[in-house]
Amino acid sequence: MSELLMDAPASGAQEAGEVVLRLSGVVKTFPGVRALDGVELEVRAGEVHCLLGQNGAGKSTLIKVLAGVHRPDEGRVEWLGEQVSFGSPQAAMKAGIATIYQELDLVDYLSVAENVYLGHEPRSLGFVQKGTAARQTRELLGRLGHGEIPARRLVRSLPAAGKQIVSMARALSHEAKLIIMDEPSAVLAHDEVGNLFRIIRELTAQGIAVVYISHRLEEIREIGDRVTVLKDGRTSAVNLPARTTPTRDLVSRMTGRSIEYVFPPRAQQEPGEKEHGSSRPAAAQAAGQGTPHVPLLTVRGLGRTGEFADVDLDVRAGEIVGIAGLVGSGRSELLETVFGARTPDAGTVAVGGRPLPPGNVAAAVRAGLGMAPEERKSQALLLGEPIYRNMTLTTFSGFATAGFTDAGREQAEAMKIADLLELRPRDVRRAVRTLSGGNQQKVVVGRWLLGGTRLLLLDEPTRGVDVGARAELYQVIRGLADQGVGVLLVSSEVPEVLGLSDRVLVMREGRVVHTAPAEGLAEEDVLDLVMAGSLTATDERTEEQA
Amino acid sequence: MSWWRDEAREPLRRNLGLVGVLLALFAIGAFIRPELYGDPKWVTNNVLVIMTQAAAVGVVAIGMTFVIIGGGIDLSVGALIALCGVWATTYATQSYGTVGMIFTALAVGIGAGAVNGLLVAYGKLVPFIATLAMLVAARGLAAQISGKQTQISNDAFINSIATTRILGIPMLVIMLLVVAALGWVLLNRTTFGRRTIAVGGNPEAARLAGINVRGHTLALYALSGLCAGIAAIMLTSLATSAQAAAADLYELDAIAAAIIGGTLLSGGRGTIVGSLLGVIVFSTITNLFAIANLPTEVQNMVKGAIIVTAVLVQQLRFDSVTKFARRHGLTRAGAPPEAAAATPAP
């Protein structure tokens, strides 16, 4: 790692302000995960320091360490030249580090001024000086170039961009010397981003340091001074000049992981060929629309206003189709719409050539669809209930006679699945809560196997799953495909999509921008597409089988 | 060894706790009035009195348990009892005889419950609001129907229910036990019960599993209304009359019984036996105060204290288990060591 580190403080920062924040060797572990594994970071007064890294690289944990939410297990944090350890977010705030999270933490039903001074209201004899708060808020908003936002207006009535301004005003009200912004542009429209950048420039001109997190390289180019790249909880590069470092360099430092992904071999495929489910009898043979075989899943022109538009895709029996894209690219929404959990505004979904009624989960399940949703715990599991009952959540009626459930048979069937998926522990009467993330995911996938599901929709199947269990899940998914199940997979982790899928769709801002066989794709190219990089012009669409 | 930590046994532990409370209340009674508690005949009779007094509340508490496990709450049950009772004892209804009266009580209960369900499931009203509105409206309608008069029941069969005994056991107690038994089977042995737990435990997961969450929610409130109808028949029989002010605050007793019986107010978990024991505990306290000649005001204060204590004990126990688990290096609350050990293996 050390050879990657460049000790070049002068390279990026224009006229090197003094160092306000310095992290060295910061380590933070959670049960089973080393989220930060030796992180270096140096932030100077008046600079915009960008943090770059893939999902799971440790950016969020790093922010939380800086914001005082987590205490590091090892390493030094120096703030204004002194070693510090913030015990709480309030302590960090007091010291002058403000964090603007992606989900803005404002109280909707309080006014702008009340939000800005929440927790440190100007007081006199125990009474809040509303007038003073409003006046000072107006000053702060003016400093941010947004004097037009009324201090007494309810925050609820402001648009996202306005709320962000209020968050920044709150940071300024604490006399913050460092403001951390976690993907601030994600909630903003295009023209609002320009405004955000103008404010950031004004802040830095006042000597305030900004740590800026974004997935969009073009933003980093525009606003950033220096870049620190995180990969698998480590710093893979520090203090790169934001404007001049080639994209390839940045991307290669984000990828090339140390964690080995172990993917099972794909089904027999001629190298370079497109999708062939050739050797399986049930699977649709030969690519293309010329064949009489209908794909298992056909999606045409599917769209939901503000989420995704005009999506065409096919999944054949025995095929794994992966969707790569950032959070917010519309991929999860697409999956949920295919499953009927959301109602589309346009387009059709057909299974085996027969159209599904829109927005009807029960019908989708009957047609042989199954979904493992993104949020395992909140969307898929009854944590306090036993494993077998979670596995039979869609099928218990089928095992029942005249409305009476058959727990014995359910347990026997669940046991078979548990054996098949090598669930640990194997005792299906145990509460799902006691399982590890990987095994919980197996329960969710197992649920659909019991129902004879023909098409599995997997949304982030390995989120929160440790490395060893990942490999097992990959085996399970590939094994299902080999038995003729079609799989539509969504993941933020590009290597996962590439390694597991037969064919890859890249989604960006609600549109499919690229479709290609997984084997011909490089991780860098996909990342480039995903982050709207320079490889291709924006909406160029490679026609699938046209 | 590990059974006390086993999550699946939690309801059993709690029910044992309630049995312990009942024994303690019995001991207090025996301490206050040793001469009465020394007489086995009196004791047997007193137990039946307690159970009889628990009967009507017990029946609505069973329905309430389903609603709460299903993620809702039903504040209207007391008012529905009054409405069902009044509707079933109008001159017009009584002219249809016993069957007409019973049918009316049950149908009105189911109907009003279904309205609750519609408002909650399809009108997207918060259960608290929807059933609070029903509470007010049903009392109003009951007063309207009865003209605020007490309506005498002239039906010999209905009036005889409260006085009938089978093998020495009052009919009302038998009705409670039958409803509880049916409720237990419904919750633990049928697809309806399984759906109830799923819908209350994680509505999103239930929806994504293809369960008709809204339809089931509607059914749960209708079930609670049905229980109110049954309770209305029981109360009408006891009083040989019905009035708009009947069953005042029964909803609170039923909710309290379910809560101290271990039903999670957030849904997804609860037991019929726990709710039944909860009702009996409250009834026993009332009985004890009568025996000790203490005023009802004190009794209500004690009830309040018991509800708070029960919930506090519940949290305390949970916290201590969590702490214990942490101290012993278990990753999650109550996670058995085998599960934790199994995790890192590739």
Q: Is the pLDDT score of B6 beyond 80?
A: no
Q: Measure A72 CA to nearest chain B CA, in Å.
A: 19
- Widest CA span of chain A, in angstroms? 82
Question: Residue B339 — pLDDT band, cuts 50, 70, 90?
Answer: very low
Q: Measure B337 CA to nearest chain A CA, in Å.
A: 9
The pLDDT tens digits of the residues spanning A434-468 come to 888 888 999 999 999 888 899 999 998 887 776 66
- Determine, for residues B334 and A433 on separate chains, whether the beta-carbon distance falls below 8 Å: yes
Taking CA–CA distances from B203, the nearest residue in chain A reads A379
Strand partners, A229: A52, A237
Radius of gyration of chain B (CA): 22
% of chain B with per-residue pLDDT over 70: 88
The ipTM (two decimal places) reads: 0.82
The pLDDT tens digits of the residues spanning A453-510 come to 999 999 988 877 766 677 888 988 999 999 899 999 998 788 889 989 999 999 888 8
In a mutational test of the B interface, the residue from A434, A470, A475 whose CB has the highest number of chain B CBs within 10 Å is: A434
Please name the helix (run of DSSP H) or strand (run of DSSP E) that holds residue A83, with its range, or none: strand A82-83
Cis peptide before B170 (omega within 30 of 0): no
Q: Measure B103 CA to nearest chain A CA, in Å.
A: 25
- Lowest-pLDDT range, A240-249, A304-313, A374-383, B153-162? A240-249
- B266 touches A at CB < 8 Å: no
Of A380, A389, A436, the CB nearest to B208: A380
All structural domains of chain A: 2-96+177-254 (3.40.50.300), 110-175 (no CATH), 300-530 (3.40.50.300)
- Lowest-pLDDT range, A32-41, A175-184, B171-180, B269-278? A32-41
Amino acid occupying residue B82: A
Q: Average pLDDT, stretch A518-535?
A: 74
The pLDDT tens digits of the residues spanning A163-221 come to 888 988 988 888 899 999 988 887 777 677 888 898 899 899 989 999 998 877 778 88
Q: Which residues of B80-106 are buried (b: 16+ CB within 10 A; e: fewer)?
A: bbbbbbbbbbeeebbeeeeeebbebbb
- Determine, for residues A424 and B345 on separate chains, whether the beta-carbon distance falls below 8 Å: yes
In a mutational test of the A interface, the residue from B5, B9, B208 whose CB has the highest number of chain A CBs within 10 Å is: B208
Q: Average pLDDT, stretch A522-541?
A: 61
Q: Which residues of A287-309 are buried (b: 16+ CB within 10 A; e: fewer)?
A: beeeeeebbbbbbeebbbeebbb
Q: What is residue B326's predicted lDDT score, i.e. its pLDDT?
A: 55
Question: Residue B318 — pLDDT band, cuts 50, 70, 90?
Answer: low
- Determine, for residues B8 and A386 on separate chains, whether the beta-carbon distance falls below 8 Å: yes
Contacts of B211 in chain A (CB under 8 A): 362, 393-394
Q: Measure A256 CA to nearest chain B CA, in Å.
A: 22
Question: Residue A283 — pLDDT band, cuts 50, 70, 90?
Answer: very low
- B249 touches A at CB < 8 Å: no
Cβ neighbours of residue A486 under 8 Å, at least 6 residues apart?
A296, A297, A315, A316, A317, A318, A319, A320, A321, A454, A455, A456
Angle, vertex CA A323, rays to CA A317 and CA A327, nearest 5: 150
Q: What are A117's two structure tokens?
A: 């001074």
In a mutational test of the B interface, the residue from A360, A374, A393 whose CB has the highest number of chain B CBs within 10 Å is: A393
What is the rounded CA–CA span in Å between residue A479 and residue A473? Answer: 10
* Residue of A495, A34, A520, A2 lying closest to A257 (CA atoms): A495
Q: Is the pLDDT score of A278 beyond 60?
A: no
The pLDDT tens digits of the residues spanning A88-115 come to 888 898 899 999 887 778 888 999 999 9
Q: Is the pLDDT score of A544 beyond 60?
A: no
Question: Residue A12 — pLDDT band, cuts 50, 70, 90?
Answer: very low
% of chain A with per-residue pLDDT over 90: 37
Q: Average pLDDT, stretch A249-254?
A: 80
- Determine, for residues B191 and A396 on separate chains, whether the beta-carbon distance falls below 8 Å: yes
Question: Residue B272 — pLDDT band, cuts 50, 70, 90?
Answer: very high
Q: What is residue A249's predicted lDDT score, i.e. its pLDDT?
A: 80
Q: Measure B104 CA to nearest chain A CA, in Å.
A: 27
Chain mean pLDDT for chain A: 83
Question: Residue B185 — pLDDT band, cuts 50, 70, 90?
Answer: very high
Query: Within 13 Å, how many C-alpha atoms sit on residue A130's CB side?
Result: 5
Q: Measure A89 CA to nearest chain B CA, in Å.
A: 24
- Determine, for residues B202 and A424 on separate chains, whether the beta-carbon distance falls below 8 Å: no
In a mutational test of the B interface, the residue from A376, A385, A441 whose CB has the highest number of chain B CBs within 10 Å is: A385
